[in-house]
Amino acid sequence: MSSQVRLRLLPSARCLFDQPVQVKVEGLRSRQVVTMRARSTDEKGVVFSSSATYRADGSGKIDLLRDPSLSGSYVGVEPMGLLWSMKADALHKYFFKDNALQPHVVKFSVHEEGREDRMLAEVTNERLLIGNGVSRVPVKGRNFQGVLFTPPGDGPFPAVLDLSTFASEKRASLLSNKGFVVLAVPVYSDHPDNVKQTNLDHFKEAVDFLQQQPKVGSKGVGIVSQSKGGEIALSLAAFVPGVEATVWINGCSAVSLVPLYYENQQIIPPLLFDTNKMIHTESGASIIKYGLGNPLAEKNKGSLVPIEQAKGRFLFVAAEDDLSLDIKACMDQMVERLKHHGKENFETVRYPGAGHLMEPPYSPYCPSSFSGVISYVVLWGGEARAHAAAEVHLWSKMQEFFRTHLSCDAAQTKPKL
């Protein structure tokens, strides 16, 4: 390594996962061209990496806030491009980073142009999922299991139920850093093939558990959901009291795959999935957008969730390049349904160029991976740059939505036991 070349991350090389860093290089030759690299290993041991070519200014400095990448994993001015453009050498890999207690570790480095073996400087970025003082407690109810994240301090704090398709702590822990009590609960705690029905009562138990937490001050709970979690979130909002604010991201407006039960009886029949309607591509990944029964078809209207029954607010989020389902059509249908019933309890946001897997900011973009729900490698859609920008915007929008509609009253906090 060159002793005079310095690679710095500002304001610090240690930060929260969703915080941007300013990447700066000093000590290069005037107008020197170098390759910047980022590298990280996920929880399954898969290595993800990115690279971009930059030209130093007249004083031998590079600043990713200011300077464009000339070639590589992305081009143009993208201050966090080295993070969101990381990908594995093999196709169809999703970056697994779900354990909140372990940081996302990224090695940034500067190399002579075209010479990966000639490293000029290196720095390690520790991106924490859980902030100082946030508590993480695994919980097991009678019919649900999850992980509870609670911010430091006495509160009162608003409460949010995070519904992910499979167990994941990333979004919940990061949201708790922002001052929310968050309970992360997966839709599937068993293999999807073994699940013959969804019991809404199990998720109602999670809502009740959240409301009983001593630091919770909101009069109701919020729900953030994505994909399969979306229909569960809509159903909770429609049937369960106390759901005040629901964020629905790239889900379905109907119940899918298995019937929905509540209080020991079936309340909504499902749309079924037909694997013969998938479109297989040369990459080995399939487009599943047309496999699920059309929720807008007249014959399927019994599978739609009656969201007009909801007392709380909705934020509907549609990635317009999602290849898993016609998300835009689902959202438009829900908006029309609410308007038809004289409801104005919703807002919408659309992201052109974004794909299905919308995550907290600066996650490596995933265009395709194995779907544990249908057991196929699938294309999720999206264009990396637009998708990354959408994730940054949505993360801020979601927090604003919850703060607006989950008001806290200090008098509502429960006495500590």
- Residues annotated as catalytic are 227, 322, 356
CA 50, distance to chain mean position in Å, is 21
With 0-12 CB in 10 A as exposed, 13-18 as middle and 19+ as buried, what is 308? Answer: middle
Helix axes 200-211, 228-239, angle to 10 degrees: 70
Contact of 160 with 222, CB cutoff 8 Å: yes
| 9 CB-near residues (< 8 Å, 6+ apart) | 15, 21, 22, 23, 24, 108, 123, 125
Contact of 128 with 16, CB cutoff 8 Å: yes
Q: What share of the chain is helix, strand, coil (3-state, %, to 5)?
A: 20, 35, 45
**76: amino acid identity, one letter:** G
- Backbone phi, then psi, for 186, in 5-degree steps? -80, 150
Helices (H), 95-146: none
